[in-house]
Structure 1
Amino acid sequence: MRSTISGYTALPKAHKISAAGLVTVAGAAALTFALVPQASAADVPSVAVKPVAQSAQEFGVTHDAELAKAADAAAVKAGAEAKAATQTAAKAKADTERANRSTERKALEPAPAAKPAAPAKKAYADNLDGWIKESLDVLQAKGIPASYDGIKRNIMRESTGNPRAINDWDINAVNGVPSKGLLQMIDPTFKAYHVEGTSWDIYDPVANITAACNYAADKYGSMDNVNSAY
């Protein structure tokens, strides 16, 4: 017969044994834990920890310094580039102003006087008329007196207008220096009275006339005064 206590329920015998066993196991476990000695702090092996190169604070300071240095370098470079650009612009402006002033000065300067065109070389006919006229122009430039009529009159008497005429029978020819050309001059006289600017060929019509007129002016005052052999 089960006896009951108010507020409690009587366990059957099997449950009582199980409970007693749990108590025994728990006690043994407690006893076992109590018997295991605890390790002291000295018995725990130390683990070497590699120090960090920089603390977070130090890394931040260094990084900021490098950024500031880079910013300064960039500012210096930008300043130099700006200065160079300013100088280039100033030079370009100065060059433009100088060119404008030069253009203005040239615009105000009077235009240079045009050089007179060289007179065209006078043309002469290749005949007796043309030879006399060309010779007269040379004589006038040299200040040697003569006239067209005086020259032509003496030419017609001496050579009849043949520039290649030669006298091979008079005293001059006998002496080896025959008279030649329009006004029948001998070589020594032609060379002595040759007029600069004319040919040295005694048979050249203009050279022969001019030298003969120069000789006549020296000996008779002018070819106009010669009316016979001279």
Structure 2
Amino acid sequence: MRSTVSGYSALSKAHKFSAAGLVTVAGAAALTFALVPQAQAADVQSAGVKTVSLSAQEFGVTQDGELAKAADDAAGQAQVKAKAAVKAEVKAKADAADRERASRSEARKPMKPAAKPAAKPAPAKPAAKAAAAPVKKAYADNLDGWISESLDILRAKGIPASYDGIKRNIMRESTGNPQAINDWDVNAVNGVPSKGLLQIIDPTFKAYHVEGTSWNIYDPVANITASCNYAADKYGSMDNVNSAY
């Protein structure tokens, strides 16, 4: 049954139910059911249902397309995520393999020897002892020893003489007595007697004394050394003296 409002006719109760059903299916399609002029009510009733049916079909196609597109997008995103996961897994495995190789390489490296402890400083050497004085050569306390010792001193000083020349003159002058003294010749008369093995007077002994020997005119070595020094100066060597000199 129809009702009329201000010259417009409304849809029947059955049409309203049909429209409500379409709204439930298609959403905004119910908006097509606006009030129309009364003159066109019958046409609207038939044409309106048909129009709504077409709109619902078209809406369904559109909705299916969007759902399909959404499904494709979701599938694409899932595929991208799956590829990313696979890529991440491959990278993780590669990183783990690199770490394993590095660990094995480090394990094969020879171990560095432990640092040697700092060497202890060498103990200070005791100060070198002063050079020991040369051992004095031992000479016999007799004529042979006296001549030998005197000859070593004469050679060190560069004064010429020989064992035979010295001994020959000693035997003539004093017969080998180091305490011999002449108290009768001209020297004795003048107050300067000849003394010792080679009968030398005090002034001559002092003038030709050789450093390193005694200043005692009766000392055998000092007497021989001073006498040879005097003979070398006056005669070239004691070897050249064959009489009183």
So what's the TM-score if we normalise by structure 1?
A: 0.51
Match of 2:199 among 184, 190, 193: 184
The one-letter code sitting in structure 2 at the alignment partner of 1:151 is: I
Q: CA deviation at 1:121?
A: 1.3
Equivalent positions of 1:41-190 (< 5 A) are 97=118, 100=119, 102-103=121-122, 118-190=133-205
CA RMSD for the aligned pairs? 2.7
- Aligned residue for 1:124, secondary structure, equals coil
Query: C-alpha separation between the residues in 1 aligned to 2:220 and 2:234?
Result: 21
1:118 deviates by: 4.8
In 1, Cα distance between equivalents of 2:154 and 2:226:
9
**Residues in 1 aligned to 2:130 and 2:184: alpha-carbon distance in whole angstroms:** 56
Percent identity, aligned pairs only?
84
Shift of 1:102: 3.1
Deviation per CA, 1:94-131, whole angstroms, max 9, x where unpaired? xx95xx3633xx89xxxx99997654211000000000
Q: Tell me, in whole angstroms, the C-alpha distance in 1 between the residues paired with 2:142 and 2:217.
A: 17
Select the residue among 173, 178, 203 that pairs with 2:218: 203
Deviation at 1:185, TM superposition (A): 0.3
Larger radius of gyration: 2
Higher relative contact order (CA 8 A, sep 6+): 1
Other structure's SS at 1:132 match: helix
Find out whether 1:194 has 2:209 as its counterpart: yes
Unmatched 5+ residue regions in structure 2?
A: 1-116
Matched, 1:217 2:236: no
What amino acid does structure 1 have at the position aligned with 2:148? Answer: K
Q: Any idea what the Cα deviations from partners look like across 1:178-216, whole Å, max 9, x if unmatched?
A: 000000000000000000000000000000000000000
What are the within-5 Å matches in structure 2 for residues 20-35 of structure 1? none
Task: Tell me the distance in 2 between the aligned counterparts of 1:201 and 1:165.
Answer: 14
Q: Provide the rounded CA distance (Å) in 2 between the counterparts of 1:181 and 1:101.
A: 67
Amino acid at match of 2:162: S
Residues 22-53 of structure 1, C-alpha deviation per residue, up to 9 Å, x if partnerless? xxxxxxxxxxxxxxxxxxxxxxxxxxxxxxxx
In structure 1, distance between residues paired with 2:210 and 2:135: 22
Q: Secondary structure at the match of 1:102?
A: coil
Distance in 1 between residues matched to 2:181 and 2:135, nearest whole Å: 35
Give 1:69's aligned residue: none
Instruction: Give the secondary-structure state (helix, strand or coil) at the position aligned to 2:244.
Output: coil
* Number of matched pairs: 129
| Counterpart residue identity of residue 202, structure 1 | I
> TM-score under structure 2 normalisation?
0.48
